[in-house]
Amino acid sequence: MPHITVDYSAELAETFDRRGFALALHPLIAKIIDTRAEACKTRFRRVDEAVIADGGAEHAMVYTQIAVMAGRSPQAKAELSEAVLELLAAHLAPTPRLRVQSAVDITDLDPAWYRKHTEPAKEA
């Protein structure tokens, strides 16, 4: 926890620095919502087909969902959303033919039933 999922249009595969985004995102999240960067996990899902607005080929999107343990203030979540949008912009190279829509959603994990297990590293 936090769990981060980033859906992005296939057209952005070459212009979206996904690894750089994740490596910058983890300490940002840790700072804003008071967690550890080591706890962050980000997965990227390439979206091969999406219909955005009028369905024109000039549309692309990046949708970031961040699930955090419940209890963070609305102000912290809003600050995180704004910071993530800024970070996304810094990791998307300009693509003249595309109009990119970026969005961020912060959701709560319920501690009543959220569980985590980390398997220890095996010796070689």
72/19 Cα distance (integer angstroms): 26
Distances from the Cα of 68 to the Cα of 32, 75, 78, 112, 115, angstroms: 12, 14, 13, 13, 13
Euclidean distance between CA atoms 114 and 101, whole angstroms: 31
Q: How far from each other are the two terminal CA atoms of the chain, in whole angstroms?
A: 28
Q: What are phi and psi of 83, to 5 degrees?
A: -65, -40
Q: How much of the chain, in percent, has pLDDT values that exceed 70?
A: 100
> What's the sign of the alpha-carbon dihedral 112, 113, 118, 119?
positive
CA distances to 13, 35, 64, 102 from 52, rounded to whole Å, are: 17, 34, 16, 12
Residue 114's pLDDT band, with cuts at 50, 70 and 90, is: confident
pLDDT at residue 120 in the model? 87
The residues, ordered by sequence, that sit 6+ positions from 57 with a Cβ below 8 Å of its Cβ are none
How far apart CA 41 and CA 22 sit, in angstroms, is: 9
6-63 pLDDT per residue, tens? 999 999 999 999 999 999 999 999 999 999 999 999 999 999 999 999 999 999 999 9
3-109 has which CATH code? 3.30.429.10
Q: Give the model confidence (pLDDT) of 74-85 as tens digits.
A: 999 999 999 999
Q: Where are the domains of the chain?
A: 3-109
Q: Residue 124 has what pLDDT?
A: 78
Strand partners, 4: 42, 66
Cα atoms in the 13 Å half-sphere on the side-chain side of 12: 30
